[in-house]
């Protein structure tokens, strides 16, 4: 069963507008969430993360919002640029008190296209 879900396979946005990518999770033990950006035939690159003790984290044009009660997080990109066109992955990990955090669990990704 998928623990991290990205229900929108693709998203198209005009340059300069806001891009909102969504992610839902089912495991209530997840306490750390990340967003990665990936180009074809390359490894993912880390964008931004958020701990479960926060509900918002901002880094330049990227903001991640976390709603723990809804088990939902979103990535906002403002303003969107053509270079933002890529696949975005949501990931999460859970704390395990005796054996370290779990490895990252990834969603299936959302392909963002920013149109000039």
Partner 1 sequence: DGGITQSPKYLFRKEGQNVTLSCEQNLNHDAMYWYRQDPGQGLRLIYYSQIVNDFQKGDIAEGYSVSREKKESFPLTVTSAQKNPTAFYLCASSIDGRVNTEAFFGQGTRLTVV
- Rounded Cα distance, 110 and 10, in Å: 5
Query: How many of the other CB atoms lie within 10 Å of CB of 44?
Result: 19
Of positions 17, 46, 54, 82, contacts partner 1 by CB under 8 A:
46
Q: What is the CA radius of gyration of the chain?
A: 14
Q: List, in sequence order, every residue forming a beta bridge with 76; answer none if it has no partner.
A: 20, 63
Least distance (Å) from partner 1 to the CB of residue 94?
Answer: 10
Question: Does 51 contact partner 1 by CB under 8 A?
Answer: yes
- Rounded Cα distance, 102 and 108, in Å: 18
DSSP state of 53: T
Question: Does 41 contact partner 1 by CB under 8 A?
Answer: yes
Of positions 25, 80, 93, 112, contacts partner 1 by CB under 8 A:
93
Q: Which is nearer to partner 1, 40 or 83 (CB)?
A: 40
The answer to whether 88 and 64 are in contact (CB under 8 A) is: no
Question: Does 56 contact partner 1 by CB under 8 A?
Answer: no
Q: Which is nearer to partner 1, 41 or 116 (CB)?
A: 41
Residues making contact with partner 1 (CB under 8 A): 6, 9, 31-32, 34, 36, 41-46, 49, 51, 89, 91, 93, 95, 99-101, 103-109
């Amino acid at each position: 069963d998928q623990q991290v879900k990205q229900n929108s396979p693709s998203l198209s946005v005009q340059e300069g507008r806001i891009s909102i990518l969504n992610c839902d999770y089912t495991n209530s033990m997840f306490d750390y969430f990340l967003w990665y950006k990936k180009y074809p035939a390359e490894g993912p690159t880390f964008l931004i993360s958020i701990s479960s003790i926060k509900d918002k984290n901002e880094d330049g044009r990227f903001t991640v919002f976390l709603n723990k009660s809804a088990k939902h997080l979103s990535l906002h990109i403002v303003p969107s640029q053509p270079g933002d066109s890529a696949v975005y992955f949501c990931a999460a990990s859970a704390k395990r008190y005796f054996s370290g955090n779990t490895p990252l669990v990834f969603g299936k990704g959302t392909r963002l296209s920013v149109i000039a």
